[in-house]
C-alpha cells in the first residue's frame, strides 16, 4: 500500500510542529509540583517535558526529555479510554 504524496509532505512537518509545541509547553512543565509520596515520582525534577508522536506505520518523532523514565499516573486514564 503506497502513501499519497500529500500525506508524506504533511508528515515532513511533524518534527517542526513538535519543536514549536515543546518550546511553548516546556515553561509550563515547571509550574507543577512533584508529589514525593507518589511512588515513581520521588526525586523527579518538575521541569521535565517530553513529547513523542508515533505514526501508524511505526515511525516516531520525539522532542524533549524523552529518555527520562517517569510514572504517568492519571494521564494513563486518557490512553485507556482511547
C-alpha cell, 33: 509540583
Per-residue pLDDT of the chain in tens (82 residues, 90 and over written 9): 455 666 667 778 899 999 999 999 988 887 878 887 877 777 788 888 889 998 888 889 999 999 988 777 777 888 787 6
C-alpha cell, 5: 504524496
In Å, how far from its chain's centre is CA 74? 15
Tally the domains of the chain: 1
- Residue-number span of the structural domain to which 53 is assigned: 5-81
- Spatial separation of the C-alpha atoms in residues 10 and 59, rounded to whole Å: 14
Q: Is 53 helix (H, G, I), strand (E, B) or coil?
A: strand
Amino acid at each position: 500500500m503506497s502513501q499519497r504524496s500529500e500525506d508524506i509532505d504533511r508528515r515532513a512537518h511533524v518534527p517542526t510542529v513538535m519543536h514549536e509545541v515543546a518550546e511553548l509547553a516546556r515553561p509550563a512543565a515547571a509550574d507543577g509540583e512533584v508529589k514525593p509520596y507518589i511512588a515513581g515520582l520521588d526525586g523527579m525534577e518538575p521541569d521535565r517535558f517530553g513529547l513523542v508522536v508515533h505514526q501508524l506505520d511505526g515511525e516516531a518523532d520525539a522532542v524533549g526529555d524523552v529518555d527520562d523514565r517517569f510514572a504517568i499516573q492519571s494521564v494513563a486514564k486518557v490512553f485507556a479510554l482511547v
